[in-house]
Chain A
């Protein structure tokens, strides 16, 4: 069964350093999402791509976070500089394009757990 791939699985960094996370969605999935999940809370959408275009990044702290999906396939999320409050799980998800029930399903990757010291 196809899966969303993410790397690295774990990342420890010091504050003020730069970090980058990579996501490869399920083949054929036009929509890609980056979420941040703080322990004990639900995932919070940071950015959503439709193919290579950003359709929503209203919750992305743009002074330090950036995301790209240059060829409409895999994606990279970057934080520079990292702050202590960025410690969280960063989840990538993908879904088919459209609005049907089937296309509503989001498939999540295993996530990258980030610890900022």
Chain B
């Protein structure tokens, strides 16, 4: 099966930079995704890494190291609206490769 670990909560101030780490275990790896979910809302896609390295999309970047089974989401120039839960999700496994989500990291941005 697949399992993921990420911190349960992270706090930061407006304008700061925060990194949310994710380690995973899977038999067979296809890719690592990140989703954002505001309270009461639906998850929204942020990024996807299939190969090692850094992917940048505006203020958000995502990194993957397949050899370390590790990735992170980097949020820069934090804004109050970034307060949300962030989920890493891995697609892997043998046979059918479904997307498995982590338990999420709750980010609280304060003024």
The distance in angstroms between the C-alpha atoms of A58 and B1, with both chains bound, is 12
Given A56-B98, A91-B42, A108-B44, does the pair A42, B87 have CB atoms closer than 8 Å?
A: yes
Chain B: interface size category: 20 to 34
> Which A residues from 70 to 114 make CB contacts under 8 A with B?
91, 93, 101, 104-111
Residues of A within 8 A of B89 (CB): 42
* Residue among A43, A44, A108 with the highest chain B CB neighbour number at 10 A: A43
- Contact between A41 and B42 (Cβ–Cβ < 8 Å)? no
| Binary contact track B31-51/A, C-beta < 8 Å → 1, others 0 | 101000000011111001010
Asked if B26 lies at the interface with its beta carbon under 8 angstroms from chain A, I say: no
Interface of B is mostly: strand
The reply to whether A111 and B31 contact each other, CB–CB distance below 8 Å, is no
- A91 close to B43 (CB less than 8 A): yes
- State whether A111 and B103 are in contact (beta carbons under 8 Å apart), knowing that A48-B98, A55-B96, A56-B96 are contacts in the complex: no
Whole-angstrom CA separation of A73 from B23 in the bound complex: 35
> By the criterion CB–CB under 8 Å, are A45 and B99 in contact?
yes
Give the Cβ gap from A8 to chain B, nearest Cβ, in Å.
Answer: 15
State how many angstroms separate the Cβ of B3 from the closest Cβ of chain A.
11
Q: Does A61 contact B (CB under 8 A)?
A: no
Contact of A45 with B33 in the complex, beta carbons under 8 Å = no
